[in-house]
């Protein structure tokens, strides 16, 4: 079986780490590299977090440092949700894989060139690294098959009433990616707020006596409490959505639509303006907007994968 080459770009925080652990167990996908970006927490944490989650999984994927801040906006972190170092109360083993000085954007280009047009990029954080790669290497438009984004929302937002965090954090970077011409799959809040594990499912998985499930338990406890205080039905696994969409699209449904990012709005900065209805206002239907998920199957699949470590 020809495996699908995949790149994982992340501001590795709590749901990012679960997304990686799920991605690592997809037999039809081959992780070619991981890049860390500043987002949930600073790069000084997201970079070692990305290295160390590989160590927990028993893998030594190459991990590259990316942007310390968005293209133009100041970095706005989410320590209140993801904790001081981005992993809640979770602790990871320390990776001893040698460091590399190759920056994320160069590594992404190298992987795309090597994959000869088959590379899929999964993003779980602000799109700064991908935007820089596209600006430095315009030929990426013909080398990257698909970018699967956790980000945006056809309706609503979580950082503001209009914007989801990953897009809000770097709206200019996001706009460069959405306008790149590379086919986009947008897993926005429309689907990710329904992609949750119930508290009972979280506790059951966290009770399994294994290093991965103990890490899951410790890293998610405060985030679950955050969602419960906001009267949400459970632990939203936002970043797992693009991973499982690529591996198991049958769990999801959505619509092709034009999507562009508001970069200047005082109230609407970072909004992914999504033309789901008129379908006439944007020149292209540049993104597949994922709107629904089979939650029961999604949650069961995540549990089964984390128990398998
Ligand atoms: O809005 C949810 C997104 O912001 C997720 O990627 C989460 O990890 C945070 O980065
Ligand atoms: Ca993230």
| Tens place of pLDDT per residue across the chain (309 aa) | 799 999 999 999 999 999 999 999 999 999 999 999 999 999 999 999 999 999 999 999 999 999 999 999 999 999 999 999 999 999 999 999 999 999 999 999 999 999 999 999 999 999 999 999 999 999 999 999 999 999 999 999 999 999 999 999 999 999 999 999 999 999 999 999 999 999 999 999 999 999 999 999 999 999 999 988 888 899 999 999 999 999 999 999 999 999 999 999 999 999 999 999 886 778 899 999 999 999 999 999 999 999 999
Residue 177 near residue 184 (C-beta atoms within 8 A): yes
Residues with CB under 5 A from ligand 2 (ion): 11, 16, 124-125, 239
Residue of 10, 15, 45 to mutate, ligand 1, most atoms within 8 A of C-beta: 15
Residue 301 near residue 251 (C-beta atoms within 8 A): yes
Helix%, strand%, coil% for the chain, nearest 5: 40, 20, 40
Cα separation, 87 vs 95, in Å, equals: 16
Name the 3-class secondary structure at 162: coil
Alpha helices in 71-210 (DSSP H): 79-82, 104-114, 128-136, 140-143, 165-169, 171-178, 189-192, 199-206
Of ligand 1's atoms, which has the minimum distance to the CA of residue 11?
10
Cα–ligand 1 centroid distance for 181 (angstroms): 24
Q: What is the pTM of this model?
A: 0.98
Residue of 70, 130, 235, 238 to mutate, ligand 1, most atoms within 8 A of C-beta: 238
- Minimal CA–CA distance to 304: which of 16, 14, 26, 10? 26
Q: Is 238 a catalytic residue?
A: yes
Cα–ligand 1 centroid distance for 85 (angstroms): 15
Cα separation, 136 vs 146, in Å, equals: 18
Name the 3-class secondary structure at 144: strand
Q: Which strand ranges, in their side-by-side order, compose the sheet holding 119-123?
A: 63-65, 29-36, 4-10, 119-123, 144-150, 184-187, 287-293, 252-261, 272-275
pLDDT digits (tens, 9 = 90+) for 121-151: 999 999 999 999 999 999 999 999 999 999 9
- Minimal CA–CA distance to 46: which of 4, 75, 5, 6? 75
Cα separation, 31 vs 115, in Å, equals: 11
Alpha carbon nearest to ligand 1 atom 10, residue: 125
Question: Distance of CA 285 to CAs 132, 255, 260, 273, 275, Å?
Answer: 23, 10, 10, 12, 8
Buried b (16+ CB within 10 A) or exposed e, 97-115: eeeeeebbbbbbbebbeeb
Residue of 16, 22, 148 to mutate, ligand 1, most atoms within 8 A of C-beta: 16
Question: Distance of CA 70 to CAs 147, 174, 206, 260, Å?
Answer: 19, 10, 34, 18
Residue 95 near residue 52 (C-beta atoms within 8 A): yes
Cα separation, 307 vs 12, in Å, equals: 21
Cα separation, 259 vs 263, in Å, equals: 13
Of ligand 1's atoms, which has the minimum distance to the CA of residue 14?
8
Of ligand 1's atoms, which has the minimum distance to the CA of residue 124?
6
Q: Which residue among the candidates 82, 96, 99, 238 is catalytic per the annotation?
A: 238
- Residue 308 has a CB neighbour count (10 Å cut-off) of 10
Protein residues with CB under 6 Å of any ligand 1 atom: 11, 13, 15-16, 39-40, 124-125, 150, 158, 164-166, 238-239
Contacts (Cβ under 8 Å, ≥6 apart) of 232: 193, 196
Half-sphere exposure in the Cβ direction for 181 (13 Å, CA): 8
Cα–ligand 1 centroid distance for 123 (angstroms): 10
């Amino acid at each position: 079986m020809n495996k699908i080459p995949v790149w994982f770009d992340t501001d590795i925080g709590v749901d990012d780490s679960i997304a990686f652990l799920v991605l690592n167990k997809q037999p039809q996908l081959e992780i070619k590299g991981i890049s860390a970006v500043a987002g949930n927490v600073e790069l000084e944490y997201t970079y070692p977090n990305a290295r160390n989650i590989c160590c927990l999984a028993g893998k030594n994927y190459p991990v590259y440092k990316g942007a310390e801040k968005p293209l133009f906006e100041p970095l706005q972190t989410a320590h209140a949700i993801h904790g001081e170092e981005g992993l809640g109360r979770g602790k990871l083993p320390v990776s001893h894989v040698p460091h590399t000085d190759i920056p994320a954007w160069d590594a992404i280009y190298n992987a795309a060139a090597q994959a000869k047009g088959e590379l899929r990029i999964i993003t779980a954080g602000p799109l700064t690294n991908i935007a820089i790669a596209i600006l430095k290497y315009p030929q990426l438009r013909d080398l990257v098959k698909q970018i699967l984004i956790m980000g945006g929302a056809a309706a609503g937002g979580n950082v503001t009433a209009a914007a989801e965090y990953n897009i809000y954090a770097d709206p200019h970077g996001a706009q460069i990616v959405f306008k790149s011409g590379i086919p986009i799959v947008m897993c926005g809040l429309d689907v990710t707020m329904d992609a949750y594990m119930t508290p009972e499912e979280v506790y059951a998985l966290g009770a399994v006596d294994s290093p991965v499930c103990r890490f899951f338990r410790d890293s998610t406890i405060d985030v679950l409490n955050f969602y419960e205080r906001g009267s949400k039905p459970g632990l939203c696994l936002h970043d797992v959505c693009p991973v499982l969409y690529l591996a198991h699209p049958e769990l999801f449904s959505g619509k092709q639509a034009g999507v562009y990012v508001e970069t200047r709005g005082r109230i609407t900065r970072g909004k992914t303006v999504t033309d789901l209805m008129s379908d006439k206002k944007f020149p292209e239907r540049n993104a597949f907007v994922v709107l629904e998920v089979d939650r029961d199957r999604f949650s069961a699949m995540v549990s089964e994968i984390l128990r398998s470590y």
